[in-house]
Amino acid sequence: MKIAVVGSGYVGLVTGPCLAEKGNDVVCADVDASKIERLSKGHVPIYEPGLEEIVREQTSRGHLRFTTDVEGAIRDSEVTFITVGTPPKPGGGADLTYVENVADLFADVIASDGKVRVLVTKSTVPPGTTLSLRERIRKRADNDAFGIANNPEFLKEGAAVTDFRKPDRVVLGIDNLVVKRMLVDLYEPFVRSGGKIIVTDPTSSEFGKYASNVMLASRITLMNQLALVAGSVGADIDEVRDIVGSDKRIGPTFLYPGPGYGGSCFGKDVEALRYLAKQKGADLSILDAVDSFNNHHRLWPVRKLEQQLGTDMSPRKIAVWGAAFKPKTDDVRESPAIYVVEALLKNGALVNVYDPEKKTYEHLAAELNARPWIDGLKEKSAMGKWPTYHDKLLESVVSADALLILTDWDEFKSPDFQKMRSTMKIPLIIDARNLYRLDLMKKEGFRYISLGRKQVDAII
């Protein structure tokens, strides 16, 4: 099938190459010329395990190419996927400008040559969007000869290629039999060895994506709240997780406490659904609690550190492990690290950041630069306090007064504790991911504060 994927970000850059792997003829389009230039030379601008190999292979086989000519890409294709961003609008709700821009181009193309094509919204869009785009295109093109569908994406960054190749489910929101046949044929190779295709109407499909994301965000939030209570009543949240997760009705995944959800989707989708519910007069107040707790909770590591060292952290040296919001990605959008590093800098600390994926450093620096407080801080700070980004894990803890752990990269799981103990000024670890056994921390000589477990102190 000839396919255009419009928007070459985290979703488009996985969708296009993975569809190309099945023998489709795919063109990935984006308005960002520098991104397309890099992609055309085989350089993938995001880090996602396995992706660069697929891009290079499919490009060399001739199944995949990249272009800034969005209109041309749509013109040459039978199916166009929209994978552009749907960021939050300042007043609430999802900003559909980018999606509408692509839909308008699609309308112009079908108006100009009258060939039948299919448009698929893969970006996360509010319920009703796909059907209202159909009306928009009909009016603009003065033409009915096109199909439209919604096909929300459920990939997880860090495991996006695996998720796309072997999805739990593919959801197709369609109200037309011909379009249904085309898209079922396109996706069948992905579910041959498990997974299923769910065909429904476009609005249920769109709503299903939001419902899944807010369900996950709520589960993370509830687990984080339970962890705080577990800590205060003397229970151990890891034991509690085992008890809760062994119940088949609940299941064991997504039950790990942490420093709050981050990334570009959960916060934005919680916000968009809250807005939609309010507009409709429906009660989704549970999401108000999810959102406000998550905003508060991402500073849990800083609050714990302040209890240990006080709020004036000048000239303390604090190591932070994990810049992205989770392992195996370079995506720092809404990462708890942004807020943690910002708070540490405001407290006067010198901050050492380490993340195994070095592309995160550039992105974190850009996020910090964009924070409103940063100019004031620069002026106030004679030392020009900015984080120092490290190449090696243990370099980041040299002379450190504390280590904060924000993500669960494998590299963090068994570091050389003896070296750390001897090089840190204060052997204090605040671990928002509960990576280490309490008895081990005691033996290795640390004060160890984790989430929803007892604080342990070194055996002296």
Query: Residues interacting with ligand NAD, by CB under 6 A?
Result: 6-12, 29-32, 35, 70, 83-86, 98, 101-102, 123-124, 153, 155, 157, 264-265
The nearest distance, CB 444 to ligand NAD, in angstroms, is: 36
Using the minimum distance from each CB to ligand NAD, give the nearer residue, 11 or 27.
11
Bridge partner list, 120: 81, 149
CB of 248 to ligand NAD, least distance (A): 27
Token pair for 68: 């800034």
Give 31 or 458: the residue with its C-beta nearer to ligand NAD: 31
Q: Specify whether 265 is catalytic.
A: yes
Compute the least distance from the CB of residue 222 to ligand NAD, in Å: 22
Looking only at the bridges linking them, the beta strands covering 388-389 and 402-405 are unpaired
Q: How far is the CB of 264 from ligand NAD (least distance, A)?
A: 5
Is the distance from CB of 360 to CB of 330 less than 8 angstroms? yes
Give Cβ neighbours of residue 350 (< 8 Å, ≥ 6 apart).
315, 316, 317, 318, 383, 385, 388
Q: What secondary structure letter does DSSP report for 357? A: S
Catalytic residue among 74, 214, 230, 265: 265
User: Of 52, 53, 46, 58, whose CA–CA distance to 19 is shortest?
Assistant: 58
Min. distance of Cβ 14 from ligand NAD in angstroms?
8
Cβ neighbours for 26, distance < 8 A, ≥ 6 positions apart: 3, 4, 5, 16, 17, 19, 20, 58, 63, 64, 65
CA atoms within 13 A on the CB side of 330: 18
Residues in Cβ contact with 351 at an 8 Å cutoff, skipping those fewer than 6 apart: 318, 319, 320, 341, 344, 345, 385, 386, 387, 388
Between CA 54 and CA 4 the distance in angstroms is 17
Looking at the Cβ atoms of 363 and 390, the one nearer to ligand NAD is: 363
Q: Which two tokens stand for residue 220?
A: 């993370």
- Residue of this chain nearest to ligand NAD (CB atom): 9
Name the residue with tokens 């893969």: 122
Nearer to ligand NAD by C-beta: 216 or 265? 265
Minimum CB distance to ligand NAD smaller for 11 or for 406: 11
Q: What distances in angstroms separate CA 428 from CA 308, 398, 417, one per listed residue?
A: 9, 13, 12
CB of 328 to ligand NAD, least distance (A): 12
Q: Please list the residues that pair with 431 across neighbouring strands.
A: 405, 450
Give whichever of 101 and 308 is closer to ligand NAD, judged by the CB atom: 101
Nearer to ligand NAD, 206 or 342 (CB): 206
Tell me how far, at minimum, the Cβ of 365 lies from ligand NAD, in Å: 18
Q: Which of 165, 229, 211, 220 is nearest to 20 (CA)?
A: 165
Catalytic residue numbers?
A: 265
